[in-house]
C-alpha cells in the first residue's frame, strides 16, 4: 500500500466552482500534515498546514480525519490561478522526511 495516496486527476472545473481533493495515508502514527501546491516544473510551495480541528485560509479549507486516515482540501470559488498540482504531504514525526503523494492536478477553465 502506498504511504500517501491521491487521485492524480486531472480535475477540470469551471471558474467559480467548488472542488475537493482527498488524500489517504497509511501510517497511523503520522503527526503532521500539509497541502502544498506545485506549478509545472516549479518547487512545491506550502499552501496550508492541516490541523486536527480543521483550518481555513480564505477560499481554502483543510480537514484531517485521523480515525480514517485521510486529509481533504476544499477550494471554493475556483480561480484560473488555482490551476496547479496539489500535493498531500505527511510527516511521521520529528524533524525527519516528509512523504509526498503523487499530487492531484487541477485545471480551472474559463
Residues that bind another protein (CB under 8 A): 31-32, 34, 38, 41-46, 49, 51-52, 87, 91, 93-103
The beta-strand segments (E) located in 53-103 are 55-57, 60-65, 70-75, 84-91, 98-100
| Nearest approach, Cβ of residue 38 and another protein (Å) | 8
Helix (H) or strand (E) holding 34: strand 32-38
Nearer to another protein, 14 or 46 (CB): 46
CA distance 36 to 27: 19
Lookup: cell for 77: 470559488
Q: Which residue has the cell 467559480?
A: 16
| Nearest approach, Cβ of residue 80 and another protein (Å) | 23
Nearer to another protein, 99 or 107 (CB): 99
CB 36 within 8 A of CB 45: yes
Nearer to another protein, 1 or 43 (CB): 43
| Nearest approach, Cβ of residue 26 and another protein (Å) | 15
| Nearest approach, Cβ of residue 18 and another protein (Å) | 26
Nearer to another protein, 1 or 41 (CB): 41
Amino acid at each position: 500500500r502506498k504511504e500517501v495516496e491521491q487521485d492524480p486527476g486531472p480535475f477540470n472545473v469551471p471558474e467559480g466552482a467548488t472542488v475537493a481533493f482527498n488524500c489517504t495515508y497509511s501510517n497511523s502514527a503520522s503527526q503532521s500534515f500539509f497541502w502544498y501546491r506545485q506549478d509545472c516544473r516549479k518547487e512545491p510551495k506550502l499552501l496550508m498546514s492541516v490541523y486536527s480541528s480543521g483550518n481555513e485560509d480564505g477560499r481554502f479549507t483543510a480537514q484531517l480525519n485521523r480515525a480514517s486516515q485521510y486529509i481533504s482540501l476544499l477550494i471554493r470559488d475556483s480561480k484560473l490561478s488555482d490551476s496547479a498540482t496539489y500535493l498531500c504531504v505527511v510527516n511521521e514525526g520529528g524533524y525527519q522526511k516528509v512523504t509526498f503523494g503523487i499530487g492531484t492536478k487541477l485545471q480551472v477553465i474559463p
